[in-house]
Amino acid sequence: MLKIKGIDSYYGESRIISSLDLEFEKGKITCLIGRNGVGKSTTLKSIMGLVKTPEGNICFDGDEIIKIPTYNRVKQGIGYVPQGREIFPQMTVYENLMLGIWANGGKGELPKYIYELFPILKRFEKRKGGDLSGGQQQQLAIARALVSEPKILILDEPTEGIQPSVIQDIGEVIKKINKEMGLTVLIVEQYLDFVLGISDYLYIMEKGEIILKGNTAQ
């Protein structure tokens, strides 16, 4: 469903990724792990069109997406949560969520499943985003990516800076999204327990290359 074939990715003149091949199977949870600075986030940014990728192909549902601008990739069904919880602290929880619709030119309502998946966001609907705890902000960031009803959800370190008890909640929500909505999920993650608890497939990355792929489904 999402296939990366032979991409090179650059920041300015420095090549971070070379000839990278990756595949993400439809309806499955795939995790990408590796040490700091090996190029995990850059891989995700390449999928989103946020870095220069002069070589290679990225195919999503059979379409070549490499030349499509980022906002159109979202319209095509790719939901992306960058590393570091990008929420709008001065806006309410509701407004933060609605941005996922307004940003795509829509006037619609929040899909019903958002508050079913994240009851805490319903409870704090009128609260400012910046007044939520770190774990709640992470839930808000994930929920906002789901508002546009994507076919694939891409999460960059969803557990970063979050305490273990909340990490479990986030894992449960991700599993639920995958099982009940059939959403394909791609996660970059450092926390191995979390990865082994939720993934079907695992890739290990080292300096811009994949060194191992495994099937982790129990």
* Distance (Å, whole) CA 61 – CA 140: 27
| Site stretch for ligand ATP (CB under 6 A), options 34-42, 68-76, 99-107, 146-154 | 34-42
Nearest Cα neighbor of 138 from 74, 205, 208, 83 is 83
DSSP for 121-152, written as a single string: HHHTTTSBGGGS-HHHHHHHHHHHHHHT--SE
Q: Phi and psi (nearest 5°) for 31? A: -115, 145
Residue 42 binding target from Mg ion, ligand ATP, none, CB below 5 to 8 Å by type: ligand ATP
Does the protein bind ligand ATP through residue 38 (CB under 6 A)?
yes
For 26, half-sphere exposure in the C-beta direction (CA atoms, 13 angstrom radius) is: 7
Residue 12 class from Cβ within 10 Å (0-12 exposed, 13-18 middle, 19+ buried)? exposed
DSSP 8-state assignment for residue 156: E
49 binds ligand ATP per the rule CB under 6 A: no
In the complex, minimum distance from the CB of residue 50 to Mg ion, in angstroms, rounded to a whole number = 12
Residue ranges in the chain assigned as alpha helix (H):
40-48, 70-75, 93-102, 113-117, 119-123, 134-147, 164-181, 192-198
The entry of Mg ion, ligand ATP, none near residue 18 (CB within 5 to 8 angstroms by kind) is none
Q: Note whether 165 binds ligand ATP by CB under 6 A.
A: no
Should residue 136 be labelled a site residue for Mg ion when binding is judged by CB under 5 A? no
**Which span (35-43, 52-60, 110-118, 194-202) binds ligand ATP, by CB under 6 A?**
35-43
Binding-site partner at residue 132 among ligand ATP, Mg ion, none, CB < 5 to 8 Å by type? none
Does 41 bind Mg ion (CB under 5 A)? Our answer is: yes
Judged by CB under 6 A, does residue 40 bind ligand ATP? yes
Q: Which of 4, 20, 41, 183 binds ligand ATP (CB under 6 A)?
A: 41
Residue 46: burial class (beta carbons within 10 Å; 0-12, 13-18, 19+)? buried
Residue 153 binds which one of ligand ATP, Mg ion, none, with CB within 5 to 8 A depending on kind? none
Which CB, 37 or 54, lies closer to ligand ATP?
37
Complex with ligand ATP: residue 41 or 139, whichever CB lies closer: 41
Q: Is 144 a residue that touches ligand ATP (CB under 6 A)?
A: no
Do 63 and 76 contact (CB within 8 A), yes or no? yes
Chain residues that interact with ligand ATP, rule: CB under 6 A: 11, 16, 34, 36-42, 83
Chain residues that interact with Mg ion, rule: CB under 5 A: 40-41, 83
